[in-house]
Structure 1
Amino acid sequence: MTNGRPDGRLPAERHRGPVVFRRGQVEPDAATTDQRLLDSGGPTDWLHADPWRVLRIQSEFVEGFGLLAELGPAVSVFGSARTDAEHPEYQQARQLGAALAQAGYAVITGGGPGAMEAANRGASEAGGTSVGLGIELPFEQRLNDWVDIGLTFRYFFARKTMFVKYAQAFVILPGGFGTLDELFEALTLVQTRKVTRFPVILFGERYWAGLLDWIRDTVLPEAKIGAADLELIRVTDDVEEAVSIIAAADARRSAQELTENAAHAEARSAGAGDAQ
């Protein structure tokens, strides 16, 4: 058996946990993992290395799941951070937050100003649960004062998971790139059945008309989506209609779960009878 070297000597080798480095990858005086851990005066570059980022990402999921697991029925509301408090859209978002809270839903937003603040404010003023999931940005942005439960994320994808996992529906208020990102993320997850189907409601018929026209007149005719995909989107200008769409979908989902649970119970009972 040969080791692959003409002189018969083993190649240089160093271990770092389960990882093996050989030949030119070996650093002659590399510190051990324990040494780096215990050396308080050493370099801090490791704090920004990818393996350490994995732990930070993991911690964000753990914190998010722990915070929201017992939240109960909730609706994620998205909209522009630039909506002025005097704008009619702010007042509509505030009314929406209140109506959702009165219907028994917690309101989850990105925790920022503008439309997000308005939805949080409406929910809080109505005695509901107002949740803000913020994001670390290059410019200063704090959670708005109407957030009752808040968490700030480093990573967009961890934050997005929380918006989807704990929501019975999405309501999309007028907004910019961030709002559009959340809209199409939700539609893609529902379309590909990565999540149980839930309502995706565009609030503001005039604002969303151009986008919907483009989807119907360009995207659909060129077969980039199917006709059934258009049914994933609901559009309204009415707060009560938005809440009723969500409640109706929730009732259908609950009825379906009861039917499925009964069928499973019957199947288990029949299997037990056969075993006897």
Structure 2
Amino acid sequence: MTGLNFGIPRPIGTGLPTEQPILLTHAASTFLDAHARIVAAGKVIKARIDKRETQMVAVPGLIALATLLYCVFHGYIVSGVILAAIVGFGALCLAGMVSAVIGKPTDPTPAQLIAIGVEEVQRFAPLMNRGRYQWVRRDYDFVGVFPDTGFVYYFGPTTRWQHLLMAGRQTVRQVRVNITTKISQTSTSTTAHGRRYALAPTRNVAVLSKGKSTTTHQTSTTTRTSHVLEIQYQAGAGTAPAWLSLNFGEDGRLAEDWRLMIAQTAGLA
């Protein structure tokens, strides 16, 4: 998921003091309250979904067990095992059909968290008074630049939902796009049997021909490429550096665009 925004706020500010190259600011209380409420509601929804899926498996299992116990009690051990397997499989298929008709409950939590995150960034960015700004969203992570004053901005779970404003030339050490490729293969085999002929010399004797069988093997390959924008920053000399990461998925061009913008803002390009 991607979100883009830009704007021109009030006159350009003077920037952070030299002794404070990084500014970490708490999000608004309205965002924190809404975030806590949505996360709590999401846990309840997830528990309901997990309970439903457990019931879909447990109920057919209990039916099969009851069938087996009934047959064993009446002395039908072997046939009871077979019957229990058939009944259990049928109940499982029926439960699957019911689940498909009813549909799986949807969890609105991700969309709600993204919505309040966008609102918070839209509220905060103009208040910084750092000149022109532009930001992008990837899932729950937001990164932005203030090109006129050389500031880089981040908001998301990495900073525990605090606004991070960095004086780019003083703090950003490197910006890169990490590309990973995942390859998965699926193989299928299909066997087709030709016609078999019967030769009957007499009414009670017949000879069956061997026939011909053809087996076809098919292999499908799926390749997925992921582009992760990584930003290394450091509060000062001798302090431990840290990383920010945003996953752009298969959109490598957008990831490279933002790598360049951040590098230019931080004076690295």
Q: TM-score, normalised by structure 2?
A: 0.20
Which of the pair has more CA radius of gyration?
2
Structure with the higher fraction of residues in strand conformation: 2
Structure with the higher fraction of residues in helix conformation: 1
Q: TM-score, normalised by structure 1?
A: 0.19
Higher relative CO (Cα under 8 Å, sequence separation at least 6) belongs to 2
